[in-house]
Structure 1
């Protein structure tokens, strides 16, 4: 009985480990004109909450996001920014409706995200690591 329990637990652990490899690996990308190679997490949060409109060296930043219900947006919001997608949407809506800010530029999919970030100087966005190409640069998070 003990061997079956141990074997079952080992099998469960292997399935759990295997499914972690299937999780979305989301990375932050930027236009090649962006001078930074990394950003502090708090700066990244402020940029995507639309509270900060420039990068640390003063360059204007253009933010691109995927739709609220897109799996990559959900993963980015929760795992990287540490907020739920609806919390970001509330912050954007509040800024827009109060006249104190604007919402980010929304794109439909990762291909459009890559194209938009690659063609817009000073832009920032996110994609799955497997979607990365050489048109954009990866920003590390400090």
Structure 2
């Protein structure tokens, strides 16, 4: 009859319990999704195109529709994540670009909304609008844009 090593079995049970606790109490991780109003009619954008749109250097979609940019507040964790992961810029760099355009009179800053749900509503109701969300479950009747290299 084989002998049972109780120390190994106890360690396995403890590790299993720790793993279950971590899974139960960790928050889900969502990817950032770029969404637009269905009038934008584009399936993908390169990182450079997305950066041009958010730095307000590209004003129209390929079909000629004016682009309306929506963002969350600069201090928002989602906005900061969007800047770093999608635009590959720091939020303060984007703020500087917008401030320079606004104060020089050569452009306007994007439209800031208070929450992700407000952003989704604005995207749905504004022709040519673009924005970003973390959770697509609320984002119905919008165009989801794939970001490519």
TM-score scaled by structure 2? 0.78
Give the equivalent residue in structure 2 for 1:82: 88
Give the equivalent residue in structure 1 for 2:147: 141
Give the equivalent residue in structure 2 for 1:36: 42
Distance 1:131 1:104 in 2: 24
Contact 2:33-2:136 at 8 Å conserved across structures: no
Give the equivalent residue in structure 2 for 1:98: 104
The alignment status of 1:71 with 2:72, answered yes or no, reads: no
Distance 1:66 1:131 in 2: 18
Q: Which runs of 4+ in 1 moved over 3 A?
A: 20-24
CA shift, 1:133, in A, is: 2.5
Distance 1:31 1:43 in 2: 17
The alignment status of 1:107 with 2:127, answered yes or no, reads: no
Give the equivalent residue in structure 1 for 2:14: none
Q: Secondary structure at the match of 2:56?
A: coil
CA shift, 1:22, in A, is: 4.1
Structure 1, unmatched stretches of 5+, are 1-13
CA shift, 1:34, in A, is: 1.2
CA 1:131–1:90 in 2, change beyond 3 Å: closer, same or farther? farther
Structure 2, unmatched stretches of 5+, are 1-18
CA shift, 1:131, in A, is: 4.4
Equivalent residues, number:
132
TM-score scaled by structure 1? 0.82
Contact 1:24-1:72 at 8 Å conserved across structures: no
Greater C-alpha Rg? 2
Measured on the aligned residues, the alpha-carbon RMSD in Å equals 2.5
CA 1:44–1:133 in 2, change beyond 3 Å: closer, same or farther? same
